[in-house]
Structure 1
Amino acid sequence: MFGPEGPTLRELAVQALSSVERGYDLLAPKFDHTPFRTPDHVLDAVAEALAPLGPFTDGLDLCCGTGAGMRPLARLCRHSVTGVDFSAGMLDVARRRVPPAEAPRVAWVRGDARALPFTAAFDLVVSFGAFGHFLPGELPRLFAGVRAALRPGGRFAFPVFAPPRPTSPAFWLLSGFDTVMRVRNALWRPPFVMYYRALRLGALLGELERAGFTVELRALPGFGRRADGSPRGRLVVARNDGPPGPAVTPRRAG
């Protein structure tokens, strides 16, 4: 469907009728050949925007998928980088893409992002394109876990982009996708949570502040500006200003 190396329409249908975890296990070998994989120019723009805030020591890629975000994260962090995802298939692909020279400082953890097994372990947590897999009511638990995983002064960062306008075909494509997914989840179990328009920027910022973060928005200049002058791309940077917790070393997992 997305070219000769991408998944077929039949494969996508099977994945969509599975649970989120099983669906991504099935998609993993071909995930990098779909539009769902965060493009390199987005990853590089985030790394460039974060570089002046460093240096960082240990970093975590939340919902790392096949590990595309680990490359820029490794440039930003001097000691270790960890990827966490609940899909074993995604992590298998991610492990294979790590250069041998980088392997000693890379760790992989299979786990639920809403129940992170870390306390004060990282200076930097990043995430790329994962929030469509969380319902609004799950954000408090998600952000509380991220804050607990950060050391005092650590940052949680992720890119956000201006939504398409109602006059754009992309607006109706994304709205139609969300509608299909809601109908699917009303008729089929287990649910497959993947919505493009379920979470608004204001709601994300509000939940981050309620979780105890100090939040700022930084423009990503490489993506231009809208007609009203606002940036098309922004980086959300949430700083943990809470009291210190017991420091731990990110654990390695097979």
Structure 2
Amino acid sequence: MFSPEGPSLRELAVQALSSVERGYDLLAPKFDHTPFRTPDSVLDAVASALRRLGPFGAGLDLCCGTGAGVGVLARVCGESVTGVDFSAGMLDVARERTVSRGPRVSWVRGDARTLPFADGSFDLVVSFGAFGHFLPRELPGLFAQARRVLRPGGCFAFPIVAPPRPSSPAYWMLLGFDAVMRVRNALWRPPFVMYYRDFRLGDVRRELEWAGLEVELHALREFGERPDGSPRVRLVVARRPA
């Protein structure tokens, strides 16, 4: 799962016993060599889908990490691109890797639950792989923030993977991971919120609609279909009404 350039077992243990912010500060230099980084295949598929929905002017990558999603925005936004994250270490790595060509890119340290931007600042907000760090009770506020910074007609977009079947090894791996994290948080402070199974499409769609966003689902056909014919990966597009 980890390349030779990735973190050691000891480094992962230190990260896991830290707060979320401190943990990612420590992991930042080697983050792109871990399975936690969104794969390029997902980034490319999302960029392709967003091109069909655009064009867009200003874009925001919510919980940008080392900036992989900012690369997607740079392909579909013509005005400017911003990455926001609360980990200073992740932002440092992102700045080092900024490519000068294309739209103007900026990096901002901030909390996604209280975004430091004016109302209606962006045409497109994206996020990749970050929602496991938010408890279900935090989603209404998070989605309200995304809606607030969108311009009328703007989109909040993110990929979501269909949950694995109980008969698959992936199901039991995710179940075990979440169980370990819950035990860790019951015994150790500060907590490290990272739960992969709490972000469910039905709940997410309902919360987005309650936040005042109109939800569309776009199949990312690059990843095929499940045996029942449903897409393995969808792009959720939540639009602020014009």
- TM-score range relative to shorter protein: over 0.9
Deviation (angstroms), 1:2: 1.4
Structure 1 segments (4+ residues) deviating >2 Å: none
Superposed displacement of residue 120, structure 1: 0.5
- Matched AA of 2:150: L
Structure 2 distance, partners of 1:31, 1:231, is: 28
Residue 37 (structure 2) aligns with: 37
How far does residue 117 in structure 1 lie from its aligned partner after superposition?
A: 1.5
CA shift for structure 1 position 72: 1.5
1:91-102 aligned at under 5 Å gives the runs: 91-102=91-102
Q: Give 1:151 deviation, angstroms.
A: 0.2
Q: Distance in 2 between matches of 1:91 and 1:21?
A: 12
Cα distance in 1 between the residues matched to 2:59 and 2:3? 34
2:156 corresponds to which residue? 156
- Partner in structure 2 of residue 228 of structure 1: 228
Hey, what does 1:66 align to over in structure 2?
66
Please report how far the alpha carbon of residue 150 of structure 1 lies from its aligned counterpart in structure 2 after TM superposition: 0.2
Q: Aligned-residue CA RMSD in angstroms?
A: 1.0
Partner of 2:115: 116
SS of the equivalent of 1:197 reads coil
Aligned to 1:251: none
Counterpart of 1:69 in 2: which secondary structure?
helix
AA in 1 matched with 2:71? R
Tell me how far apart the structure 2 counterparts of residues 3 and 149 of structure 1 sit (CA, whole Å).
37
How many residue pairs get matched? 241
Q: Match for residue 26 of structure 1?
A: 26
Cα drift, residue 95 of structure 1:
0.5
Instruction: Please give the alpha-carbon distance, in whole angstroms, between the structure 2 residues aligned to 1:150 and 1:72.
Output: 18
Identity of aligned residues (%): 76
Tell me the TM-score normalized by structure 1.
Answer: 0.93
Shift of 1:3: 2.6
- 1:101 deviation in Å? 3.2
Aligned-residue offset at 1:96:
0.6
Instruction: Give the distance between the partners of 1:62 and 1:76, measured in 2 at CA.
Output: 16
Q: What does 1:168-183 correspond to in 2, within 5 Å?
A: 168-183=168-183
- Distance, in Å, in 1 between the alignment partners of 2:156 and 2:2 is 32
